[in-house]
Amino acid sequence: MLNFLRVNRNIRSIRRYLDIVRVLSTYGFDQALEMLGLADMVARSRRLFRRSAPNIARLTAAERMRLALVELGPTFVKLGQILSTRPDVIPLAFVQEFEKLQDNVPCFSFNEVLAQIAEELGGPSEQYFVHIDHVPLAAASIAQVHRARLKTGEEVVIKVRRPGIVKIVESDISALLALAGLAERHLPGSEIYDPVGLVREFSRTIRREMDFSREAHTIEKFRDNFSRTSWMYFPRVYWDQTTRGILTMEYVDGIKVSDKEKLAAQGLDGRMIARRGADSFLEMVLNHGFFHGDLHPGNVMILPDNVICLLDYGIVGRLDDGLKTFLTDILSAIVSRDMDEVVSLLLFSGDISDSLDTRSLKRDLSNFIDGYYEIPLKEIEVGRMLMEFIEIITIYSIRIQPDLMLLTKSLVMIEGMGRALDPAFDMAEHLRPFIIRSLRKKFSPLRISRDINQILVSYLNLARNIPRDLKEIINRVNRNKFKIDLEHRGLDKFTADFDRSINRLSVSMILAATIIGSSIIMQTDKGPKILDFPALAFMGYTAAALVGLWLVYAIIRSGRM
């Protein structure tokens, strides 16, 4: 049974793989597919599916890729949304285009909602809910949300996972891993971007997002982190009605932070909300190391007394002590205009290429800092400044940790909401005490002694392991077991092209031999006749003509005369 399921899953993955190739070819990415060694598959796709997307000739590559992701479905839309936060991985034009991706998917039926609830909770919905609204509050690629009432009377919202989405996502991930593997084998310089690692990172993200019990635990963690903050509110989770595929939480009736007219009508203070929002976000980042990663205005509600409530906890970011220290150090180095320190931090923390031009990097970073030098601190948008900084280092193929990229985008959103609520909002002013506190903590005697202790332990472990490792290497050499693996990138494409050329040459030789043999038979003028020609000669010429036409057609179709 297990073998059958595995085979069935593999068949689905192969079918999806072919579908991806077809869609990419449809939207004009044949050259990219050929670079991945898929030239034959592209040619077959052209013969089987003779169509192209409408008006693609007038679209940019980024626009065509966005349309291709939409056609490929929810997994690829999610991939595009995540890549829109990674300007260190894809060009800026693609980042801007992928930001337009939305979960524009049709709602699934209410009967399917009831079936999902019954399957997840182990009983009919009437056993847990008095009423469930037929019309969803929201629908996305992974789930949709309905308002409901528990049998105990509480107003709640139910987040219901879309039927069959897990199988779809797993099939797509398998196909993406195969394409990423081809990219690593065939595309020079792809190792700096680690395509397979990016797909695995994406798979972890989307699998976490599909597991609603994780999201429920995330809400509880945020509530614990802000247990002493009276002006932050987090919805209550109803665990008896929550599983991996169902999330039931308190319905929060508030005002969207973007609705300034309603906020003013209710007597709420925009300046106070902006200040509290900035402080709470910086508290998440620099103190807790655990922050909400999807803080657009639709996920921020304002309750009476200027209380802030956050919604949708599917995407979160994490900063360990090392990343928090890096963030504090890089901001301090930028403010102090110490380019040597900025470059040193980048080289230490980011993935860099062997051809990095540090002199040009320092020059571009100095020009970047000079552009902010005479601007008053209150006029500097910290999020935009960090985004511009990342755009510069992206040019030099320096990769930054994904959580730092998510943090930068979230900071841009927070700053935009703050300035919309309060035109005099100054993120730098809110940031200063957190940085000072972090620097004091970094240089405290306790922290220094702990760092020294860690360094000593690391060197002690290194000294302990060196003799053993050297002995292992020498033993392998003595036993002729010492191996060096060499990888030839792009050799598969050369082999395929070489085989194709040999095959054409062989067909040509057979064709020439057939024509010569037929000509010799023609001179004998013996045997049965067809149209007054010797039958064998006539058949030989006919076969040679057909094969010759097929060979010319194949060469013209390949585009390589």
Residues with catalytic function: 294
How far is residue 143's CA from residue 205's CA, in Å, rounded to a whole number? 15
Strand 143-150 to strand 232-233: parallel, antiparallel, or no bridges (unpaired)?
unpaired
Q: Which residues does 77 contact at the CB level (< 8 Å), separation at least 6?
A: 69, 70, 101, 102, 103, 141
How far is residue 310's CA from residue 306's CA, in Å, rounded to a whole number? 13
How far is residue 558's CA from residue 550's CA, in Å, rounded to a whole number? 12
Q: Which residue in 446, 425, 434 sits closest to 377, CA to CA?
A: 425
Contact (Cβ atoms closer than 8 angstroms) between residue 350 and residue 393: yes
Q: Which two tokens stand for residue 160?
A: 């219901």
Contact (Cβ atoms closer than 8 angstroms) between residue 304 and residue 266: yes
Q: At what angle do helices 195-210 and 74-83 cross, to 10 degrees?
A: 120
Contact (Cβ atoms closer than 8 angstroms) between residue 420 and residue 368: no
3-class DSSP assignment, residue 50: coil
Alpha helices by DSSP H, 479-490: none
3-class DSSP assignment, residue 160: strand
Q: Dihedrals φ, ψ of 256, to 5°?
A: -60, 140
Cα angle: 143, vertex 148, 149; to 5 degrees: 150
Residues in the chain: 561
DSSP 7-19: HHHHHHHHHHHHH
How far is residue 392's CA from residue 365's CA, in Å, rounded to a whole number? 7
Q: At what angle do helices 270-282 and 427-442 cross, to 10 degrees?
A: 30
Indicate the DSSP class of residue 288: I
Contact (Cβ atoms closer than 8 angstroms) between residue 133 and residue 148: yes
Contact (Cβ atoms closer than 8 angstroms) between residue 325 and residue 256: no
3-class DSSP assignment, residue 480: coil
Indicate the DSSP class of residue 59: S
Q: Which residues does 235 contact at the CB level (< 8 Å), separation at least 6?
A: 219, 249, 250, 251, 252, 309, 311
Indicate the DSSP class of residue 556: H
| Bridge partner list, 250 | 156
